[in-house]
Amino acid sequence: MGYEKSASGDRIVSLPKFLLQQEAFLRTDNGTAQMNVNGAAGGTPVNLWNGSGGGGDAGADWSTNGIGAESGSAAHTGNNGWDSGVSTDTNDLTRFSDASDSDIDGTYSELSFWMQPKAFPVGARLRVDWQNQANTVIGDSVNVADYVTNYDLDVWQKVTIPISDFNLTGDVSRVRFRYRNATGQQFYFDDIELVPPGAGGPYRFRVAAPDALTQYHVSMLVLVVSGPSAGWSSATFANITALTNGLIIRQRRLSDSTVLWALNSKDNVDLFGRFHPQDDIEFSDGTLLVGFMLKPGKASVIVTDDEVLEFVVRDDLSALTTARGYAHYGVEVIT
């Protein structure tokens, strides 16, 4: 603890002393620091809904209700997709329902779907959650914006959400797309799938303070990757050509699963736009190492034992020699 005289000079004021430290992001399942793993769920996807128009739309679709209609114009693959239509109420939703409740959390690793935003006004939110047969919401609602790089209109993009992020507490049979906070939203959806576990992921890598009386004031976030020096492309994330879903860095409140902020870097435009690349080093064995840095504003990122930092890996990083994340911070002990 440091000390400083007050302006009047008649008393001593104690000041917090910030001990500068660095901590690696650790896997939440086994506590190791390895990030370059195959995080993809990897099992054979099971169709939830992909249209019933034939010609590539094979599969037993879940039933639908709520706003929207099946449409050939909304197809990503096959003949038909789902056109949500233009929402007119902030409670509008589209629901895909199975015949009975089942253990989604224990059976599948990811919910994936293709989405093309057609209209997304200021203040709009697209959220997804699950219900059981009694129309009770089970677990948490998630914001799709936390899993995509942006909402570019008229562009198809794949959305991949770990089932664990829903924090399901029971069996479910209905997934809801909720058009929240603003009217006038419109989306195309297609190829909605549930992906069973296969390769072991997705993985979360986390930094958290040890207890409720300790806070980390983050001054810098660092991502370090290394791999073969050949093959870097402007359209890929570093030199990871297989990283199709992108790498998420986010701050998340564990007590209620709220994502406070999230950055999803899917390719080098996103990566370089959010992280500052540092000097690269090429080793004699042909390995190229590059560090990326993000410096938050003062006091804008404070990590506690409840509000933690996470990297989320949903793809195969094993092609890299190394992938590591670090948080640099000052420690504040609350007394």
* pLDDT given for residue 19 in this prediction: 74
Question: Considering 195, 213, 236, which residue would you say is the last residue of a domain?
Answer: 195
Reported pTM: 0.88
Regarding whether 247 and 208 lie in a shared domain, the answer is yes
Query: What are the structure tokens assigned to 145, written together?
Result: 């914006």
Regarding whether 207 and 177 lie in a shared domain, the answer is no
Regarding whether 36 and 56 lie in a shared domain, the answer is no
Report the distance separating Cα 184 and Cα 236, nearest Å. Answer: 33
Length of the chain: 335
Regarding whether 187 and 219 lie in a shared domain, the answer is no
Regarding whether 153 and 17 lie in a shared domain, the answer is no
Regarding whether 240 and 160 lie in a shared domain, the answer is no
* pLDDT given for residue 284 in this prediction: 87
Report the distance separating Cα 266 and Cα 108, nearest Å. Answer: 23
Question: Considering 195, 218, 251, which residue would you say is the last residue of a domain?
Answer: 195
Regarding whether 320 and 206 lie in a shared domain, the answer is yes
Regarding whether 191 and 50 lie in a shared domain, the answer is yes
* Torsion angle in degrees (nearest 10) through CA of 33, 166, 185, 59: 100
* pLDDT given for residue 240 in this prediction: 80
The CATH number linked to 247 is 2.60.120
Domain residue limits at 54: 46-195
The CATH number linked to 86 is 2.60.120.260
Report the distance separating Cα 61 and Cα 48, nearest Å. Answer: 6
Domain count, the chain: 2
Regarding whether 213 and 89 lie in a shared domain, the answer is no
Question: Considering 169, 195, 221, which residue would you say is the last residue of a domain?
Answer: 195
* pLDDT given for residue 271 in this prediction: 85
* pLDDT given for residue 2 in this prediction: 45
Peptide bond into 210 cis (omega under 30): no
Regarding whether 264 and 154 lie in a shared domain, the answer is no
Q: Is 153 exposed, middle or buried (0-12, 13-18, 19+ CB in 10 A)?
A: exposed
CB 216 within 8 A of CB 313: no
Report the distance separating Cα 264 and Cα 286, nearest Å. Answer: 29
Regarding whether 174 and 209 lie in a shared domain, the answer is no
Q: What does the pLDDT profile of the chain (335 residues) look like in tens digits?
A: 444 455 555 555 455 556 789 999 999 988 898 898 988 888 899 999 998 765 556 667 899 999 999 999 999 998 899 999 999 999 999 999 999 999 999 999 999 999 999 999 999 999 999 999 999 999 999 999 999 988 999 999 999 999 999 999 999 999 999 999 999 999 999 999 999 998 888 999 999 999 999 999 999 999 999 888 777 777 778 778 778 888 999 999 999 999 999 999 888 888 888 888 887 888 888 888 989 999 998 779 999 999 999 999 999 888 888 899 999 999 988 87
Q: Could you tell me which of 263, 257, 266, 313 has the C-alpha nearest to residue 27?
A: 313
Report the distance separating Cα 124 and Cα 126, nearest Å. Answer: 7
Question: Strands 81-83 and 186-195, how do they pair?
Answer: antiparallel
Report the distance separating Cα 256 and Cα 245, nearest Å. Answer: 25
